[in-house]
Amino acid sequence: MEFFRIRKDIPFMRHALVFNIISLITFLLAVFFLATRGLHFSVEFTGGTLMEVSYAQAPDLTQIRKQLEADGFSDPQVQNFGSSRDVLIRVPLAKNTESSKVGDQVMASLMKVGAGGTASGMTPALKRVEFVGPQVGKELAEDGALALLLVVAGIMLYLAFRFEWRFALSAIIANMHDVVIILGFFSFFQWEFSLPVLAAVLAVLGYSVNESVVVFDRVRETFKKKRGMTTPQVLDHAITSTISRTIITHGSTQMMVTSMLIFGGPALHYFALALTIGILFGIYSSVLVASPLVMWLGVSRAQFVQAKVEKQEAVV
């Protein structure tokens, strides 16, 4: 399915060096911010208190959040859980505060919202309280890093078997470029890095490699069918012929992600934001980072087309 078809190949590879210099600068900036500012980890990673409360009527989450901040809780996370009347609250660890007393302090803050009147339906009912220690958060961070490493290794093995090592190396460099830039954005703006954001980063890895596989498939197909074309011309043709598919796929995905970003509320905001950054840079890296790297690593038609061996006639 195509919205349009471009008859003349766009010379992407002519500007490959410029595009990769831009990518390198962006990548180095992201690494710099990660090294100097770090990530703003959520309660799941740093430890804290998780509480679930319910109301007779749907509460105003903004008022609850403001009240918790006014009572001294820094960066509280307040979101609906299951229904509009159930609320999930995460409060980070605070110095010189006993974990056992945090739940009572949070409940005291909640009672202030809506004057705590029974008739108003704003009296909170505590359903559960969980305490996440720093050790648990450290284990989650280590498990998340391990998951990221396993995904990267799996992608490299898949591409190496399906195509060739040049394609595998190029794709994984492009994909790691996307991941580091996402983390760089979260570091620079100090957006909260939570488990949903980690899930978004892992999703971006798979999503971005899918675009690379489509382009690489067309590259292999063009090498086999088109004779007399140079490697840059083959790459330009492969990218140009998949532009319509790229617009349909990424446009449809971004429409869904944008709806989560606008209407999903605080619970899905950073998850959708990470996906948005990953989708945009995923297109860029698959076309303008991975493809030039394949070219510079020396991909050629000979690697896909086996030379015909002429049979020698038997001498009588």
Of 173, 182, 188, the closest CA to residue 202 belongs to 182
Which tokens go with 211?
């675009």
Task: Check whether 197 has a pLDDT greater than 80.
Answer: yes
pLDDT averaged over every residue in the chain: 83
Question: Phi and psi for 121 in degrees, rounded to 5?
Answer: 75, 20
When comparing pLDDT for 8 and 118, which is higher? 8
Task: Check whether 118 has a pLDDT greater than 50.
Answer: no
Task: Check whether 92 has a pLDDT greater than 60.
Answer: yes
Amino acid at 54: S
Task: Check whether 128 has a pLDDT greater than 90.
Answer: no
- The residue-averaged pLDDT of 80-88 equals 83
Confidence (pTM): 0.78
List pLDDT tens digits, range 47-73: 788 888 988 888 888 889 888 988 888
Task: Check whether 28 has a pLDDT greater than 90.
Answer: yes
Task: Check whether 183 has a pLDDT greater than 90.
Answer: yes
Question: Phi and psi for 72 in degrees, rounded to 5?
Answer: 100, 5
Q: Percent of the chain at pLDDT above 90?
A: 19
Q: Report the C-alpha gap between 152 and 173 in whole angstroms.
A: 10
Instruction: Say which residue the tokens 């140079």 belong to.
Output: 230
User: Please, what are the domains in the chain?
Assistant: 12-40+136-302 (1.20.1640.10), 48-132 (3.30.70.3400)
Which tokens go with 35?
């090294």
